[in-house]
Amino acid sequence: SRGLGDVYKRQVDLIRRIRMKKAAVLLSQHRFSVSEVMYMVGYSNPSYFSKCFVAEYKISPSQYASKLQSERK
């Protein structure tokens, strides 16, 4: 049987994925800096935000934003 720890971890992972998806959407709009997006989705530690973003998208937030920018040209 699964313990409460497993339930908690799944909830934390889900919330993190939702926040990273929101960050990706905001970065794709090219209206906000990475720092602004970080705070908008509820992070205050830049290195932790970047670590979570890389875990989800395999690319840093700033690389993600510039990649999208170059694809739009």
Q: How confident is the model at residue 5 (pLDDT cuts 50, 70, 90)?
A: confident
Residues in the chain: 73
In this structure, is the dihedral angle defined by the CA atoms of residues 37, 39, 45 and 51, taken in order, positive or negative?
A: negative
pLDDT over 70, % of the chain:
95
Q: Around Cβ 53, how many Cβ atoms within 10 Å? A: 27
Q: How confident is the model at residue 73 (pLDDT cuts 50, 70, 90)?
A: low
Structure tokens at 46: 């830049």
